[in-house]
Amino acid sequence: EVQLVQSGAEVKKPGESLKISCKGSGYSFTSYWIGWVRQMPGKGLEWMGIIYPGDSDTRYSPSFQGQVTISADKSISTAYLQWSSLKASDTAMYYCARLSYCSGGSCYLHYMDVWGKGTTVTVSS
Amino acid sequence: VIWMTQSPSLLSASTGDRVTISCRMSQGISSYLAWYQQKPGKAPELLIYAASTLQSGVPSRFSGSGSGTDFTLTISCLQSEDFATYYCQQYYSFPPKFGQGTKVEIK
């Protein structure tokens, strides 16, 4: 079974750093892009960025460029989303999702076919 | 930048109704559109991709249509488990974006 298992809920203070994870199983982790999606409380979905674990090619939405860092460790089939200095406005649910397989160019532009259950991040003093 | 307009934002309907949700783009995206369903407290799930292709396991009462700038998600006979929020997503240009969402609630 294809699965993305995300790390547990986090409660942090403003200014702290954080790294959340997303472990893939049941498929070839290095052959699919993995993306991150933010959902602030009561709001819609925001596409943050993606990584291709095979070669660590990473693309960010301009809205999130410089605000977060996406990385992956292919040896343990895990993708990460990290912050160096959290703000209260980072409070949200964060989902990882696999981009559906495609061959050819521009595969970073694709829909998301498998989703993790989400990681809640709460930033409060 | 492609602007997306998803409507309505809220739709009140009854079990058995036929409902349609619209997603309009500011420029043509061919058929590079997906639809997702999100139930409260749950992760989104893929329903439709390439504007009209049903994801495996999704009931046939769901259908998608359109190309270019105008797209529609139709639920032919609303079931109790379909009350949820629905999002369109364009993946034609970077960054891929989601629509604002349509909440389908019980009338």
CA dihedral A115, B8, B97, A14 (to 10 degrees): -70
- What percent of chain A has pLDDT above 90? 93
Average pLDDT across chain A, whole number: 96
The residue length of chain A stands at 125
Nearest CB among B42, B87, B95 relative to A45 is that of B87
Q: B-chain residues within 8 Å CB-CB of A109? A: 32, 91-94, 96
Give the pLDDT score at A107: 84
Residue A108 main-chain phi, psi, to 5 deg = -75, -10
Q: Per residue in A15-42, is it b (16+ CB within 10 Å) or e — as a string?
A: eeebebbbbbeebebeebbbbbbbbeee
Nearest CB among A44, A97, A100 relative to B100 is that of A44
3-state helix/strand/coil string of B31-82? CCEEEEEECCCCCCEEEEECCCEECCCCCCCEEEEEECCEEEEEECCCCHHH
Q: How far is A45 from chain B (nearest CA, A)?
A: 6
pLDDT in tens, A108-117: 889 999 999 9
| Tokens linked to A20 | 């959340």
Closest C-alpha among A62, A114, A119, A51 to residue A90: A119
- Split at pLDDT 50, 70, 90, the class of B84 is very high
pLDDT in tens, A81-92: 999 999 999 999
Q: Which helix (H) or strand (E) holds B3?
A: none
Closest C-alpha among A33, A4, A1 to residue A118: A4
Q: Is B84 on the interface with A (CB under 8 A)?
A: no
Best A98, A111, A119 residue to mutate vs chain B (most B CBs within 10 Å) = A111
